[in-house]
């Protein structure tokens, strides 16, 4: 497993400033699955798939119902398809591809040239032999799946973490030098000219030294006509490596080079409203970048996640939809049929009010849907080290972190159909100017 380092939290200000409003509401004709909602926005919504779970009924029904793109989680890696030199074993990957195709899903190919999950024989080859083996691997695997893969991660994780901007040591880098990436992409283009060819990496999700190095490589490739069509942003997030405040800006600067961008391995450790808010921000960032063509989460259910203890996915271990699921569906413009916030009895929206150097005031407007409501509840999550120091026109309670405020009305919360009320609060910035994230509005 690779080591993740923090790329720093700049907060969500940029992401939320772009919209300013989160409204959760359902309409009769809104798409009710992740895939169909994403399709409504011209995107795909995919998941990593493991062949050994395709016999588990709820796994398959969740996969088939919700997702319209699949990435084999391990089955197309070098150690799975060419464990012995020039002897190819495609059984498990084929199982995923044929399942996906039978359900009308797209397939992402992951991955051709990577330092990890690489059989040891590759590392023992001399330079000329390694070059032959790399090109043979790319060619044979891509030809096997020719016409079936919408995007290939041709090269994965070739850059080092940290400030150096250097390439990571690997048999390919160490023996073939910097040019191995260009050679891999040229070979890939020849093998399946219709597939989009991506460079994929992690800790490149915000603007930093590593993403700058990848950016410079892509810019150089485009300038010299080296074939590259897309950049994948793995987007494995947790509290040490949260969604960067400049996530959308980073996606946009790559798109501006003339490549598509894809969110390829999204998972966000956490739970509840905070996790949901982060997922929502990622989806909104992608939707705000016209060349962000799709999102893949790195697994169907928390129980089979590669980081299961962090419960980073959209379905829990019993395949129940988590708040993060509802947040993603809502951000995609969809809504759950009958429940989970999808009944749309009320909606919430945020606007920033007065601001001082150390603090700002926020206002949340609560609006009843098509029917009168007797009571309402919503949440406001601020980004640590921000703190809410005062509130008005509502009755707050707090979670243990102190960052998630659940707000209920003062006294009688009834609202006529379509009527609105508002509450306010003061956020102490403590150096962070991120906008608060609203949860869904629930009514009774």
> Exactly one of 66, 75, 183, 265 is catalytic; which is it?
265
d(CA 26, CA 13): 26
**What count of Cα atoms within 13 Å lies in the side-chain half-sphere of residue 435?**
22
Binding mask of the shown chain, residues 234 to 273, with x at each position contacting ligand XIL by CB under 6 A:
x------------------------------x--------
d(CA 197, CA 409): 53
CB closer to ligand XIL, 74 vs 139: 74
In the residue annotation, 75 being an active-site residue is answered as: no
Closest residue to ligand XIL using C-beta atoms: 306
Please give the structure tokens belonging to residue 105: 């899903």
CB closer to ligand XIL, 157 vs 246: 157
In the residue annotation, 73 being an active-site residue is answered as: no
Closest CA to 353 of 425, 270, 410, 271: 425
Q: At its nearest, how many Å lie between ligand XIL and the CB of residue 306?
A: 3
- Our finding on whether 73 is near ligand XIL (CB under 6 A) is yes
> Exactly one of 66, 73, 82, 157 is catalytic; which is it?
157
CB closer to ligand XIL, 306 vs 319: 306
Q: At its nearest, how many Å lie between ligand XIL and the CB of residue 200?
A: 6
Q: At its nearest, how many Å lie between ligand XIL and the CB of residue 390?
A: 43
Residue 107 backbone phi and psi in degrees, to 5: -130, 130
Number of residues that bind ligand XIL (CB under 6 A): 6
Q: Which of 74, 95, 212, 271 binds ligand XIL (CB under 6 A)?
A: 74
Q: Do 2 and 319 touch, CB atoms closer than 8 A?
A: no
Query: What count of other Cβ atoms lies within 10 Å of the Cβ of residue 355?
Result: 13
Q: At its nearest, how many Å lie between ligand XIL and the CB of residue 312?
A: 11
Q: Which of 47, 62, 156, 349 binds ligand XIL (CB under 6 A)?
A: 156
Please give the structure tokens belonging to residue 148: 């079936």
Q: Which of 148, 160, 165, 306 binds ligand XIL (CB under 6 A)?
A: 306
- Our finding on whether 203 is near ligand XIL (CB under 6 A) is no
4-63 residues in contact with ligand XIL (CB under 6 A) are: none
Closest CA to 64 of 30, 27, 36: 36
CB closer to ligand XIL, 114 vs 376: 114
Q: Do 282 and 266 touch, CB atoms closer than 8 A?
A: yes
List beta partners, residue 426: 361, 390
Burial of 19 (0-12, 13-18, 19+ CB in 10 A): middle
**What count of Cα atoms within 13 Å lies in the side-chain half-sphere of residue 409?**
19
d(CA 181, CA 406): 50
161-190 residues in contact with ligand XIL (CB under 6 A) are: none
**Which amino acids are annotated catalytic?**
157, 265
Name the residues that contact ligand XIL, by CB under 6 A: 73-74, 156, 234, 265, 306
């Amino acid at each position: 497993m690779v080591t993740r380092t923090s790329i720093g939290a700049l907060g969500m200000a940029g992401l939320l400033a772009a919209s300013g409003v989160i409204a959760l509401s359902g309409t009769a004709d809104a798409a009710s699955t992740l895939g169909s909602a994403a399709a409504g926005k011209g995107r795909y919504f995919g998941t990593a798939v493991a062949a050994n779970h395709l016999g588990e009924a709820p796994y398959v029904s969740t996969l088939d119902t919700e997702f319209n793109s699949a990435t084999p989680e391990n089955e197309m890696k070098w150690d799975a398809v060419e464990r012995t030199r020039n002897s190819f074993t495609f059984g498990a990957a084929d199982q995923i591809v044929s399942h996906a195709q039978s359900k009308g899903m797209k397939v992402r190919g992951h991955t051709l040239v990577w330092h990890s999950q690489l059989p040891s024989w590759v590392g023992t080859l001399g330079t000329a032999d390694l070059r032959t083996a790399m090109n043979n691997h790319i060619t044979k695997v891509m030809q096997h799946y020719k016409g079936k893969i919408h995007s290939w991660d041709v090269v994965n994780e070739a850059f080092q973490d940290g400030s150096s901007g250097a390439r990571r040591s690997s048999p390919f880098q160490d023996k073939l030098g910097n040019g191995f990436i260009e050679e891999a992409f040229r070979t890939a283009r020849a093998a399946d000219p219709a597939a989009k060819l991506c460079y994929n990496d992690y800790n490149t999700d915000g603007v930093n030294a590593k993403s700058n190095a990848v950016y410079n490589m892509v810019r150089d490739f485009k300038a010299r006509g080296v074939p590259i069509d897309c950049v994948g942003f793995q987007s494995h997030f947790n509290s040490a490596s949260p969604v960067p405040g400049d996530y959308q800006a980073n996606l946009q600067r790559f798109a501006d080079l003339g490549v598509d961008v894809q969110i390829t391995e999204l998972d966000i450790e956490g739970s509840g409203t905070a996790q949901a808010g982060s997922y929502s921000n990622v989806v909104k960032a992608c939707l705000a970048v016209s060349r962000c063509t799709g999102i893949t989460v790195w697994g169907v259910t928390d129980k089979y996640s590669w980081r299961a203890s962090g419960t980073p996915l959209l379905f829990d271990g019993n395949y129940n939809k988590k708040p993060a699921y509802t947040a993603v569906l809502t951000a995609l413009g969809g809504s759950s049929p009958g429940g989970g916030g999808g009944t749309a009895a009320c909606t919430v929206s945020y606007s920033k009010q007065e601001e001082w150097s150390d603090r700002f005031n926020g206002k949340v407007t609560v609006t009843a849907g098509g029917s009168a409501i007797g009571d309402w509840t919503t949440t406001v999550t601020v980004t640590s080290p921000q703190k809410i120091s005062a509130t008005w026109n509502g009755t707050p309670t707090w979670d243990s972190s102190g960052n998630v405020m659940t707000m209920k009305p003062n006294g009688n919360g009834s609202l006529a159909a379509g009527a609105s009320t508002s509450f306010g609060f003061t956020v102490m910035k403590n150096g962070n100017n991120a906008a608060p994230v609203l949860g869904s509005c629930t009514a009774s």
